[in-house]
A = this chain, B = another copy of it.
């Protein structure tokens, strides 16, 4: 069946169609004319980092992001050392894949810890060691703020402003920010903070998913298909464009409803919705 290729800036994050193996992802994206993918470390490592890199590059696909490094907030020396070591491996993997950015999710509060500000401080501390390592490998780090509902157990960086406060302590060619509409849509300061990020050349990745309710238990896998929720995704993309972002727009939806369907059918729908609500 002949079909127009996907929009040029469209990128498919692998988790949106997690039922696909890596070869299925590459074949499916190639068939649909998709030019870029966001990859995750676990499936890439299962398939083999070198083999994944070959397969993806061989198909002419770019890697818009590798998800993810981070989880920097351990307060004990052993936990900190393990996090740093794991993130060095993540940097090497990103380099081997030619990923445009390594996404960093900061980590939540350690058990029993109530000091958000202290945890945020430890992120800066560990980045001081990781950023030069990433630079040495030609990899750019992207700090991703997650929605405040994840502040305790997943990511103490909750706003784009906080992510920028951290990123700006490092050179802009080494550390930037990831702007995901799902996490940031509610924040009235978003336009000002996107401008701040754009003007300093810090936007390294833009992601989209829609906000739908009710949220499921655990809230992680309740993201909506583009257009099904209340986020003005086109306005979000235009904001990013307006401050100079020219990179890929990655669709990253965690949703069991999409995972239960046939992959190429999901991709067709995602591209259709992208044209309608984002492009």
Residue of B nearest to A111 (CB): B230
Highest count of chain B CB atoms <10 Å: which of A187, A219, A229: A219
**Cβ contacts A to B, 8 pairs, < 8 Å:** A109-B230, A114-B232, A116-B188, A147-B148, A148-B186, A158-B186, A215-B219, A217-B217
Q: Is there a chain B Cβ closer than 8 Å to A254's Cβ?
A: no
Q: Which of B215, B217, B231 contacts A149 (CB 8 A)?
A: B215
Q: Which residues of B contact A229 (CB under 8 A)?
A: 152
Q: Is there a chain B Cβ closer than 8 Å to A269's Cβ?
A: no
A contact set with B: CB distance below 8 Å: 109, 113-117, 120, 147-149, 151-153, 158, 162, 185-188, 211, 213-219, 229-232, 235
Q: Which of B149, B152, B219 contacts A230 (CB 8 A)?
A: B152
A239, chain B: closest CB distance, angstroms: 13
Residue of B nearest to A114 (CB): B232
Instruction: Report how far A151 CA is from B229 CA in the complex, Å.
Output: 12
Instruction: Report how far A217 CA is from B213 CA in the complex, Å.
Output: 10
Q: Which residues of B contact A219 (CB under 8 A)?
A: 149, 214-215, 219
Q: Which of B116, B218, B230 contacts A214 (CB 8 A)?
A: B218
Q: Which residues of B contact A213 (CB under 8 A)?
A: 152-153, 218
Q: Which residues of B contact A115 (CB under 8 A)?
A: 232
- Given contact pairs A148-B187, A219-B219, a sample of 19 additional A-B residue pairs in the complex whose CB atoms are under 8 Å apart: A113-B230, A114-B235, A116-B186, A116-B188, A120-B188, A147-B149, A148-B148, A149-B149, A149-B215, A151-B186, A152-B186, A152-B229, A153-B213, A153-B214, A158-B186, A158-B187, A162-B188, A215-B215, A215-B217
